[in-house]
A and B are shown apart, each in its own frame.
Chain A
Amino acid sequence: MLEFYTFLGGIILGYAIGRIDLLKSILTRSDAASASSLFSPSTQKKSMKRVEIDERTYVTKVDDDALQSSGASLGKTTSTQDDIGAASNKLAQLKKLKG
């Protein structure tokens, strides 16, 4: 009888040693889960930052050299009595409060 139990114990121990990787994976389940989901779409979305390409045309010098002025001044100038200092100060204070 004792021999039978020793034999059975040996089989169970052998099986357990054979599946030690599985045991390890059960004990460290969270790491395995994140590793297996590394390429899943949901994780990919989280881990990847969207990089947008700047499609605007690059603006170099705007060449207006060929245009020769006839000497006339452009624009009509008018003047208005207006102290904008108070408005600027009030706005500056509001902006400072907002930090």
Chain B
Amino acid sequence: MSKGLDVGTSFIVLASEEEGTAVNYKDFRDAFYVIKPATPIATKMIEKGLAGKTFVKDADGSFVILGADAIEKAVERNDSAKRPMFRGVVSSKEKDARRILSFILKEVAGKASKKGEKLVFCIPAQPIDQDDQDFDVGYHEDVVKKVLEECGYAPRAINEAEALCYSELADDDYTGVALSWGAGMVNVCVMLNGEPVLTFSTTKSGDWVDRMAAVATGETDSVVQAEKEHGDFTVGQPNDNQILAAVATYYDRLIDYTTKTLAVNLDGHKSLPKFKDPLPVVVAGGTSKPKGFVDVFKKKLEDNGFPLTVKEVRHAADPLHAVARGCLIASQIL
């Protein structure tokens, strides 16, 4: 037995195989919201109000609401939920980030079925649009490893987009390009016959869309996120709802920015092999879910001079679970 774990900015997904015929996925929203009661009576009232919600009590008496319930509570209070991760790594902005992430990881991954059970988790690549000193994937990797070791696993880290390639490029001899559109970052991997030849990331993705749309409409990030995930909109198309109209516009800009960055950084790169056949390009991740995303992405790739010949642009079969599935596949061969 082995497991795959997608440690994402927005979702943590555990993948495990069931008797060779099925894969089980356990998803949990990577968010928290803290309510600190002012009086003992308030403590009782809040606890009553949180019945049925996912929460933990902290030593100082505050309630830490976790997952989707955290976002719901934040929206109720016209506030934004907090994240234990920011742009793909454990957040340095939140003082509680490390222990909240630790708690969530332990609960989702559970105890290893036997000591030293293999578990592969994903980490982001170094971003190309952010100063190195502002980004520390090494520390993030060590934190996640430490927590998983405490659960009895033998954890190994692989690149997020590399995992996506393992999940989606089996029918293409593991040759092609994969883009994982997470909440915090877009991770890119160019693969040749199962070997990642180039990996990098960009630091604008779904959270950037939420932030920009929130600024444009005067709403909180959590309100925009909730509208975006439950509302009906098409990327780049007008919308009667003001928030969704802003989201659709910023999606268009995000795809434009990412494809331009992709073209500039791949063009003439010395690590890039001479591919003899046109390549499949696979996209996945929560940010790639809205209607029209793949069509706009495909058009922008062409318009912005993507330097490789493309056979097709396709969505992963299961965009939210593809990275965890790739980690699970990697865990079986490592």
CB-defined contacts of A81 to chain B, threshold 8 Å: 21-22
CB-defined contacts of A94 to chain B, threshold 8 Å: 173-174, 193-194
Pair A70/B150 contact, Cβ less than 8 Å? no
Pair A83/B67 contact, Cβ less than 8 Å? no
Pair A75/B22 contact, Cβ less than 8 Å? no
Pair B325/A62 contact, Cβ less than 8 Å? no
Pair A91/B166 contact, Cβ less than 8 Å? yes
Pair A75/B28 contact, Cβ less than 8 Å? yes
User: For the complex, is B14 an interface residue (Cβ under 8 Å from A)?
Assistant: yes
CB-defined contacts of A62 to chain B, threshold 8 Å: 98-99, 101-102, 143, 146-147, 150
- Say whether chain B's binding surface is mostly helix, strand, loop, or mixed: mixed
CB-defined contacts of A90 to chain B, threshold 8 Å: 170, 174
Chain B 149-189 interface mask (CB, 8 Å, partner A; 1/0):
01000000000000000110010011000000000000000
* Residue of B with least CB distance to A81: B22
Question: With A84-B325, A90-B174, A95-B194 in contact, is A74–B146 under 8 Å at CB?
Answer: no
CB-defined contacts of A67 to chain B, threshold 8 Å: 56-58, 64, 99-100, 103
Query: How far apart sit A56 and B145, CA to CA, in the bound complex (Å)?
Result: 14
User: For the complex, is B27 an interface residue (Cβ under 8 Å from A)?
Assistant: yes
User: For the complex, is A21 an interface residue (Cβ under 8 Å from B)?
Assistant: no
Query: How far apart sit A37 and B24, CA to CA, in the bound complex (Å)?
Result: 65
Pair A80/B23 contact, Cβ less than 8 Å? yes
Query: How far apart sit A80 and B22, CA to CA, in the bound complex (Å)?
Result: 5
Pair B57/A87 contact, Cβ less than 8 Å? no
CB-defined contacts of A97 to chain B, threshold 8 Å: 193
User: For the complex, is B66 an interface residue (Cβ under 8 Å from A)?
Assistant: yes
Partner of B107 from the list A74, A77, A80, A91 (CB cut-off 8 Å) is A74
Pair B102/A75 contact, Cβ less than 8 Å? no
Pair A69/B56 contact, Cβ less than 8 Å? yes
User: For the complex, is B267 an interface residue (Cβ under 8 Å from A)?
Assistant: no
Question: With A79-B23, A80-B23, A88-B329 in contact, is A57–B139 under 8 Å at CB?
Answer: yes
CB-defined contacts of A82 to chain B, threshold 8 Å: 21-23, 325
* Residue of B with least CB distance to A78: B25
User: For the complex, is A49 an interface residue (Cβ under 8 Å from B)?
Assistant: no
Pair B139/A59 contact, Cβ less than 8 Å? yes
* Residue of A with least CB distance to B193: A94
Pair B107/A78 contact, Cβ less than 8 Å? no
* Interface residue ranges of B84-123 to A (CB < 8 Å): 98-104, 106-108
Partner of A83 from the list B20, B108, B328 (CB cut-off 8 Å) is B20
Partner of B57 from the list A63, A68, A80, A84 (CB cut-off 8 Å) is A68
CB-defined contacts of B193 to chain A, threshold 8 Å: 94, 97-98
Pair B333/A56 contact, Cβ less than 8 Å? no
User: For the complex, is A1 an interface residue (Cβ under 8 Å from B)?
Assistant: no
User: For the complex, is B332 an interface residue (Cβ under 8 Å from A)?
Assistant: yes
User: For the complex, is A66 an interface residue (Cβ under 8 Å from B)?
Assistant: yes
User: For the complex, is A85 an interface residue (Cβ under 8 Å from B)?
Assistant: yes
User: For the complex, is B142 an interface residue (Cβ under 8 Å from A)?
Assistant: yes
Question: With A75-B28, A84-B325, A87-B170 in contact, is A56–B138 under 8 Å at CB?
Answer: yes
Chain B 1-35 interface mask (CB, 8 Å, partner A; 1/0):
00000000000101001101111111110000000
* Residue of B with least CB distance to A94: B194
User: For the complex, is B241 an interface residue (Cβ under 8 Å from A)?
Assistant: no
Partner of A75 from the list B100, B108, B330 (CB cut-off 8 Å) is B108
By a beta-carbon cutoff of 8 Å, the part of chain A in contact with chain B is 56-57, 59-64, 66-70, 72-88, 90-92, 94-95, 97-98
